[in-house]
Amino acid sequence: MPSAFETAYASVKELVADFRANEPFYQSASFSEAQTRKDFIDKFFAALGWDVNHDAQKNPYEQEVKVERNEAGSQRRADYAFFLTPNFRDVRFFVEAKKPYGDFGAIENYFQTIRYGWGNKTPLAVLTNFDEFHVLDCRYKPIIRDTLSRVVQRFSYGDYADSEKFAKIYWLFSREAVASGSLAKFADDLPRPRTTTFRRDLFKGGYQSIDESFLIELDDYRQTLAKAFKAKNAGLNSEQLTEVTQRTLDRLVFIRFLEDKWIEPQRLMERFGTNGTGAWEDFIASSLALDRTYNGVVFKRHDILDAPGFQVDEKPFRRICEELSDPTSPYNFDAIPIHILGSIYERFLGKISRITHD
């Protein structure tokens, strides 16, 4: 009786033969991403032992493979997320799918995939169009200039028919291998990035998890906002300054959350200060508008913050808005699980409370 590896290898060799037989068509603009997934990528991971088509796992809340079928190019969520029973909260690895035709090697494709992994604390992710299969290191903060250096393994479709090369993929990403801890073992043996960008960003969170990195940035924004408010509102006491600073930060983070989740149809923050008005003026106007939709304390009118005479140093406030709304930001709030985001903010608020009462 053939082993699971031998069965998988035989199935994948058939896919290789199918692709090779009609390679010009599969590598043309006529062959879509949806077809690539259905005809090749779905079958590839099914051969690795994953129930991609949910033939056995019918319960939508207990499926080890979550598949996004939207081709809108929104970059909201990875195309495939892989879990292991019974833990359906923590992703084991992501796969981002592209079609063979086009610029597979575009830096944005790597950045997008790494950001999914880093935001979920998964050490590895895969970028593939079946024609190519690239394994990406997601352990460190994604920096778009250096994403190409995060490729740790490369395979072309012809490699799948080589038993030794296919074995490298199988014993890393098959369900059997992942269940035995293959991803963590592989990641533990990887070196740290050696590029100058990572060395330069060491103290900005370059070697830190998303928790530590975002906490550092939140604290930097808190201090910057406090100085920007104090510069224009000298009469604020310590308690008032802490309160308006925290409420402003809460609003900015929540706006970014609404944008990334597509709960709000427009990218509000990136437009602050672009229509001949100040960024702060646009922020207050947006807060008022959002308060009519979201019945909560975040956007509720604040006696000091929303008063007509309240001002802010515009330049540092605009910088914060630009950084938070930057499309190359390492943070994608739609892809960061709620329990991770909640944990980060809880730790941040606890830190602020200690500072306030010291």
Q: CA quadruple 274, 280, 285, 290: dihedral positive or negative?
A: positive
Residue 111 lies in a domain: yes
Across residues 335-350, what is the average pLDDT? 71
Residue 142 lies in a domain: yes
pTM: 0.83
Among 111-120, 168-177, 196-205, 341-350, the range of highest mean pLDDT: 168-177
Across residues 140-169, what is the average pLDDT? 95
Do 326 and 180 reside in the same domain of the chain? no
Distance CA 207, CA 146 (A): 14
Do 226 and 129 reside in the same domain of the chain? no
Among 159, 188, 217, the domain boundary falls at: 188
Do 242 and 176 reside in the same domain of the chain? no
Which has more confidence, 77 or 177?
177
Q: What is the pLDDT of residues 232-254, one digit of tens each?
A: 998 999 889 989 999 999 999 98
Do 59 and 16 reside in the same domain of the chain? yes
Residue 201 lies in a domain: no
Do 138 and 232 reside in the same domain of the chain? no
Among 153, 188, 223, the domain boundary falls at: 188
Q: What is the pLDDT of residues 9-50, one digit of tens each?
A: 999 999 999 999 999 999 999 999 999 999 999 999 999 999
Residue 197 lies in a domain: no
Do 151 and 27 reside in the same domain of the chain? yes
pLDDT at 214: 85
Residue 245 lies in a domain: yes
* Number of compact structural domains in the chain: 2
Do 150 and 43 reside in the same domain of the chain? yes
Q: What is the pLDDT of residues 264-321, one digit of tens each?
A: 877 889 889 887 789 999 999 999 999 999 878 899 999 999 998 899 999 999 999 9
Q: What is the pLDDT of residues 250-276, one digit of tens each?
A: 999 989 988 888 888 778 898 898 877
Which has more confidence, 309 or 201?
309
pLDDT tier, 69 (very low <50, low <70, confident <90, very high otherwise): low
The answer, yes or no, to whether residue 197 has pLDDT greater than 70, is: no
pLDDT at 332: 85
CATH of residue 66's domain is 3.90.1570
Percent of the chain with pLDDT over 90: 65
Do 226 and 171 reside in the same domain of the chain? no
Do 287 and 326 reside in the same domain of the chain? yes
Distance CA 102, CA 36 (A): 13
Do 166 and 240 reside in the same domain of the chain? no
* Average pLDDT along the chain: 88
Domain span at residue 84 reads: 4-188
Residue 267 lies in a domain: yes
Do 235 and 160 reside in the same domain of the chain? no
Do 31 and 177 reside in the same domain of the chain? yes
Closest CA to 324 of 182, 221, 197, 204: 221
- 29 burial type by CB count under 10 A (0-12 exposed, 13-18 middle, 19+ buried): exposed
Residue 203 lies in a domain: no
Residue 200 lies in a domain: no
The answer, yes or no, to whether residue 206 has pLDDT greater than 60, is: no
